[in-house]
Amino acid sequence: MDEIMPYLSTTIPTAVANAIVTIQCVESARQAGDFYPTQEAMFADGIGTLISSFCGSILSMTTYIGHPAMKKMGAKQGYSLVNGVVFLPLCFFGINALIMSLVAIVAINPIIVSFKKIIIACSLERF
C-alpha cells in the first residue's frame, strides 16, 4: 500500500475525469439519436486503458467526443478506422514529437478552444 499512495493523488482524479468524459460522450451520442449503453462504453474504456497500460501508456483511454458533429458530416465506422491508420504510424515512428517541435503549442491552443466551444454549444442545444 505504501508503494501506491504517492500515485493516488493523480490516479483517482484522472479516473474520475475519464468516467465523466465517457458519460458525456454517451450522452452526446444520445442527443444525436444514437443510443449506446453507458456501462458497455465505460467497460470498453477500462479494457482499452488496461491494454494500453501494458504497452507503457500513462494515459487513460476514452470515447471520442464530438459524435453529433461527426455524424452531421456523414462520418461512419471508417472515420475511426482512418484515425487509427493515420495516428498509429505517427506515434510509432515519433513523428508527433517532430511535429510538436516544429509547431508551437501556443498555435494549437486556439484550435483546441474552438473545438471545445463547438462541443459545449452542442451540449447546450437541447436546453
Q: What is the reported pTM? A: 0.69
Give the angle 99-100-102 at the CA atoms, nearest 5°: 65
Helix orientation angle between 38-54 and 5-31, rounded to the nearest 10 degrees: 140
CA nearest 32: which of 74, 62, 61?
Answer: 74
* Average pLDDT of span 92-116: 87
Quote the cell numbers at residue 98: 517532430
Q: What are the pLDDT digits (tens) for 53-62?
A: 898 887 777 7
- Taking the CB of residue 53, how many other CB atoms lie within 10 A of it? 13
> What is the per-residue pLDDT for 40?
93
CA nearest 16: which of 53, 55, 44, 45?
Answer: 45
Q: What are the pLDDT digits (tens) for 54-84?
A: 988 877 777 777 777 778 888 888 888 888 8
